[in-house]
Structure formats: C-alpha cells, structure tokens
Chain A
Amino acid sequence: MEDTNQKPAESAQVILRMTGIGKSFLGIRVLRGIDLSATAGEVHAVVGENGAGKSTLMKILAGVHQPDEGTVEIGGQTRSFAHPVEAQRAGVAIIYQEFNLLPERSVADNVFLGREPTRRGLVDRAAMDEATSRLLDELDEHSFGPRHLVKDLSVAQQQVVEIVKALSVDARIVVMDEPTAALAEHEVELLYRLIRRLQGRGIAVLYISHRLREVFDLADRVTVLKDGAHVATVPAADVTTGELVKMMVGRELDAYFPPRAEESAVGEVLLTVRNGGNGKLDGIDLDLRAGEIVGVAGLQGSGRSSLVKAIFGAEPFTRGEMTPARPGNVRAGVAAGIGLVTEDRKAEGLALNQSVRDNALLVARAIGHRSRATVSDLLQRVKLAPPRQETEVKYLSGGNQQKVVLAKWLTVSPKVLLFDEPTRGVDVGAKAAIHDLMRELADSGTAILMISSELPELIGMSDRIVVLRDGRVAGQLPGGSTEESVMALAAADGAAA
C-alpha cells in the first residue's frame, strides 16, 4: 500500500493493520486486496461511493463479517473475529449510522449492555452509573446523566452515549460511520471536539463520510476505495477536493451543481403561503414559482421539516392563507399537486419489502390516479440503473432508493415538489444525478422547495434561499450567497454560528 512517508504516522504506534482483505457474498466479490492501517491518535478517513466497500470493510473489522482472505492485526497481533463481541474485546468500537441503542433503557444500561458489571453475581447498578457519569464528565457532557432514558435524548446526545460506550470498553480503534448525517450544523462542531478528544487519548479514529469538507477538517490521512478495491491512501493535506472526488468516482465532478435558472425561465406563482402558522411555525410568507428551486436553511429545530410537512398537509397549517387551499391532510396535499420527498426515505418514503414497481406506483395507486407514463418510462426518466422493476427496494443503494422515491412522485406529475434532505446518505455520483433531476424538473415547470443541512449543496442548488429561525422566516438570500451570510441569518443576528 502507499503508506506515505508521513512523519507522525511513522513514529506513532501502528494500532491497526489490515492487509489484503478480500470478501465475496454469494460469489460476488465485494472487496479485494484492501490495505488499511491506523496509528494511535490518528483520524483516518475512509471515503468512496456507496457500494465501494467501506461498510463491508468496517464490518469485517468489527467481526460482523469474516474476511475470505487477508489479515487483521491489532496492536501487532493477528486477530480473527468470529463474533462482534470478540472485536469489541480486542478494542474495536463501531458507531453505526443508525445508532445501536435501546431507546427504552437508561444511558448506563446501554453503555454496559452485554457486559454489565456484577457484584456477588448481581448487576452492580451503582458501579454502572458511576462509571458512566465519570466518562460523561470527561467528555464535558452535563446535559444528561446515566439514568436518563435514551429515547428522551436528542440525536447528538445519543451519539455521545455511543462514544461513551466506546470509551468504556477501552476501545483503541473507533469507527464512525457517517457520524454527521443526522446532526445539525452546530452539532457537528461539538462532534469535532469529541473526535479531537478521542485523538488526544491515543485512539485511532476511522472516519467514514460522504462529506468531503469534514474529511479535510478532521482527517490526517484519507483512504479511497472504489468498487471494492483500494485506490490510494494519502495525507489529507496533500490532496484537493477535486482530486479526491476524481479518485472516488474516476471522473472530475467540477460542475458539482447544474446551472441555476435564468431569470426569464422563472414562471408563474404556483404556491403561496401568507402568515401561515401552527404549533411549530408562525407568520410564514412564501411564494414558490414554476421553474425555480427555493432552498430552506436553518438550524436543527428551526422548523424546516415542519414547514414542508405543513405545506404538504402532513402536519397542516392551522393559521393563515395558502393557495392552493391549505391542505388539511396528506391526501388533500397530493390532490392539490404537492409532493414530498421525505427526510427518512426508509421509514417514510418507501415500502422496503416491495418491488421497485410497486413503490413507483405507490402514490398513483393511493389516489387512484391513472398514469399515462409506464413504470419503465419513469425509471428511465429518473435514470435508475439497472432499471429492474421486480427488485425489492431494500436491496438498492441509497441513491437508487431516492430515485425510486422520485419516480413515485413523477407518476402524478406534481406542480410543487418538496425535498427534505434529498441527498442524505447518498454517494457522490448519485448525488449529482439527483441534483440534475431536480433541475430538470424545475426546468419543465415544477416549483421546487429543498431543505439541506449541507450548506454547499443548498447554496449550489438554490435560486433563492429562505432562512428559518425559531419557526419564522428570518430572511431571504439570493442563490450563490456565502455560507457565512446564511449562517448569520440562521443563528441569531450575526452571532457566530
């Protein structure tokens, strides 16, 4: 492997060395000849498109899968794990994208799950609480304690619980899989601080993310995987975003975003809200025009998702005027020509156990709409590849799943399409495809409203940006505004974000 002659990497203790890892599932080779190493106190980013093999590689490290070939060395010893708990005992902790926590149990119960300390054969709750408190203190986390139930915690707090869990097993290697996917912008800063603390303790952090900005913010080295093979391992300081993207997708993606709408292409007003409000929103004024993509920015809890749900009729406005008439429920929203691509496509957007075809026809069937377009036309339009109609949706990658969600809405040709985090958990290639599709839809006369926590995406895609704060419109900005100006509006008046 190209273990670049970076000074700290050489002098620091190598904690993890994976060599020549290969793995096949049902005769399909998903990994071949992967090398990966990590040293104490290093943040090592692992990047690659969906399907590049990052997750499989991490699951091998975690003992969830066993490699067909290659070796895993931890602290200089060759290890092979038959069960996740063996990897855990060897000092490997994984924080999955979907947290492995029991919502109905306390923080301490979760931290010590599977290895509860005992005294005279009985679970020693006092010791569990005390050890958990101590670790929370070390992380400067005072907003909750060991006896809080996990279901009462925010996503960011739950992530802290996962980190405490990793620390409590004395993990030497912590793997974080898309840790910022569910975090708001200001929570990401807190996560950075936590990661630096882990570094300070001499823990090797393997950081998996689609967001290259985070990779450059945090990582010492970056390993790029593509189609199950190792492309390169380079110091983060020695590459540019463009070079990294090129290594990941094998092509330059400098036109990251499709061009904005021409002034003249923006047409009639398709939807207006005047003084709209409900339990979470107040005094909302908004116009959506044909051919225009309007971005919605705001911190977590500012009411972004509430806004799209109100327009769509899932959590309706209870006050104010709206044209078309304020939908009181989802059915009315769909009938009025409004569609919503939800934030959580697995839970809210798709019937995972059903086929691509059934999912594509979900909305059309629900409202009894006879679509003139055939399913294969639709799948072609959203560029689903391969366009197999009978595949169950759960087997598709995140990007392809999102295309099916889009196809679902295209069957009823909505006039207004709302997108809540349309590219979350989607790889770089599919992301660009979804961006192109959104722009195509706008060009063909659809009004589009888009939420994204990723500011570069929001700024790159939007013709106009509406910033929310505390359930109200804090202001509007033209497309191409700076991240600083958006954040200044989103956080209270120019206060540092």
Chain B
Amino acid sequence: MIALVANPTRAVYAALIATLAVGWALVAFDGGTFTLNDLVGIQQRSAALGIVAVGQTLAILAGSLDLSVAYLISLVSLVAAETMAGQSSNILTAVIVALGVSALVGLVNGVVITKLKVHAFIATLGVALVIRGVLDHLYDGPAGRVPVDFQQLGYARIGPIPVAAILWAAVAFGVWFLLRRTRFGHRVYAVGGDVEVARLSGVRTDRVVIAAHVLCSLCAGVAGLLLASRLGAGAPTVGTDGGYDLESIAAVVLGGTALAGGRGGVAGTVGGVLLLAVLDSVFNQLEVNSFFKDVVRGVVIVVAVAVYARRTGRRAS
C-alpha cells in the first residue's frame, strides 16, 4: 500500500482497479450488470476528455497551463463542420484548417506567455474570452454539417474497440513517446522543473513553452474534430458544456502531475481520465443523483492531491 502511494501513477491505477472492482460489485448487488459494453462505453465517453488532458499534460509539465481549450474545442467543431458542409470531399481540407486554427491559438498562447511575460492563467483566460467573443458574435446555435463518412470517427468500431478510443490511445502514446524519448520531452521537464536551470543549461525555454502550447492546442483541436463528428455539426457550446478546461486540468493533477510542472507524465493522466470516467459510469448504472456525483468527484480529486502532497512533504523533510 505504501509502495502504491509512493508513486502517483501507480496510485491512480490502483485506485482505478479498486473503483472498477467496487463499482462492479455495487452494480451487481444493485441487480444490474457491468458488461464489456459498459467498459467500451467508458472509452467512448472519455476519449475527448482524454485527448484534451494529454495535451494539457504537456502544458502543465512545462510549468504552464491552458484555460482556453474548452472554447477552442467549440471553435474547431464549427470551423470543421462549416468547412466540410456535408461533403466528404472537403474532409481533408477541413481537418487541415481546423488543426491550423488550433495551432495558431496555441502559438498565441505560447507567445503571450513567453514574450509578453503574462502568467499562463491570465494569458490563456484572455485568449479563451477572445474566442468566446468571436463565437458569441458569429453563432447562436449549431452550424455546418459533418458528412456521414466523417461521423465514423465518432461512432465506428474496429472489432469491439471504438475508433475514438484508438485515436485517444494514439495521441497518448505519441505524447508519451515525445516526453520520454526526445530532446523536446527532456526539455519540457527541465523548463517546468526550473526555468532558470533550463535556461542556464542552454535550453531555449521560450521555444519549449510555445511548442508545448501549440501541441496542447492541437490536442484540443483533435478533440474538437472528434466531437463534431459525434454531433454531426459544429456547436458553440460543445467545449464549455463538457467543461473540458477545468476537467482536463483536474484529470492531469489526479494523475499525479505536479501543477507547478516538471513532475508527472502521460501515463498518470490516462489513469486520471479513466478513473473519472469509471466513477461516472458506476454512478450512472446506480442512477445516483448527479449532484452527489459531483460531490464525489470533487472529493476524489482533492483527496488524491492531498495524498501526493503528503508523500512529497515526507520526502523533503
């Protein structure tokens, strides 16, 4: 048990397995069943949050954070759906445009943080408000149309596994690989751990932060595409309704990544997202009051971080 708590990544997976087991027992006791289908459903629901959270992990590890992802998701869903306009032949263009917009937003976030030296909280909040203004001005409801071909992304399965889950796994693996095996990854940890140390070691710290933000926004863009394919259209509230900004940060922190940066990783984030999703599914099966659901989620996140803090405190003394 102590060994489990000593490592946040292991702790979150232990909690995940425990929650699955307890949830399964509770649901069975309640007279229901928790089937493979439910597990697949969990994957389906958590894919969008998972992709955003993986991107958020990059930003947080680099000592930053991104509050603009929710509005960016809405914006991307609209840009993609309008560009596609129901035509399969427009899919490639739409994806490129959508990801281009995402990258641009990430670039703005990164440049404002590093060059104008605005704290990430304010910088990305500002960008979020700008996007909201644009959305409010241009749209008052769903717009654009996604062709059936593209809707496969949201609903198709390969065997029992949803394509969305595969996409999430691919994004997570890609970012994991980036962090573990490339120079860029090492530098993300260095910048998040201590900007000055990184700078004096010859790391171009601004570039690292900007790149982390571009990648974070690209992940949000992919999530926006995924949600557009599910909805069959773009929607100005799809991002904020999902609460992807704060929820992705919560998942990252639940996964053991330090909010101050420099410690943690993608594996923990994936565990954090799954844990939140499993809790959700269990509560749905048990038909628990949704207010109570939120209370439990809140408590889980706070307790998890308190446990990690205890561990770090002990190590330090």
A associates with B = yes
The 8 Å CB contact of B183, one of A100, A104, A118, A152, is A118
A102 near B194: Cβ-Cβ < 8 Å? yes
Chain A binder among B135-143, B145-153, B185-193, B277-285: B185-193
B221 CB–A CB distance under 8 Å:
no
Please, how many angstroms separate the alpha-carbon atoms of A100 and B194 in the complex?
9
Are B189's CB and A100's CB within 8 A? Answer: no
The segment out of A81-89, A262-270, A470-478 that lies at the interface is A81-89
B263 close to A (CB within 8 Å): yes
Inside 8 A of A100's CB, which chain B residues have their CB? Answer: 194, 196-197, 200-201
Q: Are B262 and A113 in contact (CB under 8 A)?
A: no
Please indicate which of the listed interface residues A94, A101, A102, A103 has the most CB atoms of chain B within 10 Å of its own CB.
A102
| B199 A84 Cβ-Cβ under 8 A | yes
- Name A152's closest neighbour in chain B (CB-CB): B315
Main secondary structure of the interface of A (DSSP, over half): loop
Central interface residue in B187, B197, B203, by most chain A CB within 10 Å: B197
| Interface hits, A83-124 → B, CB 8 Å | 83-85, 88, 94, 96, 100-105, 109, 113-116, 118, 121-123
Contact A113 B181 (CB under 8 A): no
Pick from B196, B198, B263: contact of A113, CB below 8 A: B198
Shortest CB-to-CB span from A318 to chain B, Å, is 16
Range of interface residues on A (Cβ < 8 Å):
20 to 34
- Chain A residues near B194 (CB-CB < 8 A): 100, 102
Known contacts A102-B189, A104-B262; is A114 also within 8 Å of B182 by CB? Answer: no
Q: Nearest B residue to A89 by beta-carbon distance?
A: B202
* CA A384 to CA B233, docked complex, whole Å: 69
**Which chain B residue has the least Cβ–Cβ distance from A100?**
B197
> How far is it, in angstroms, between the C-alpha of A64 and the C-alpha of B201 when the chains are bound?
11
CB of B183 within 8 A of CB of A123, answer: yes
Main secondary structure on chain B at its contact with chain A?
A: helix
CB distance A114 to B262 under 8 Å? no
Query: Does A151 sit within 8 A of B, measured CB to CB?
Result: yes
Contact B202 A104 (CB under 8 A): no
User: Chain A residue with minimal CB distance to B184?
Assistant: A123
B190-217 contact mask (Cβ, 8 Å, vs A): 1 or 0: 1001101111111100000000000000
A116–B189 CB distance below 8 A = no
Closest to B183 in A: A116
A43-95 contacts to B (CB < 8 Å): 62, 64, 83-85, 88, 94
Q: Contacts A103-B193, A104-B263, A105-B190; is A114 near B198 (CB within 8 Å)? A: yes
| B262 / chain A contacts, CB cutoff of 8 Å | 102, 104
Interface residues, chain B, with chain A CB atoms under 8 Å away: 181-183, 185-187, 189-190, 193-194, 196-203, 262-263, 315-316
28 contacts between A and B (CB under 8 A): A83-B202, A96-B200, A100-B201, A102-B193, A102-B194, A102-B197, A102-B198, A102-B262, A104-B189, A104-B193, A104-B262, A104-B263, A105-B189, A105-B193, A109-B186, A109-B189, A113-B186, A113-B197, A114-B187, A114-B198, A114-B201, A115-B202, A116-B186, A118-B183, A123-B181, A123-B182, A123-B183, A151-B316
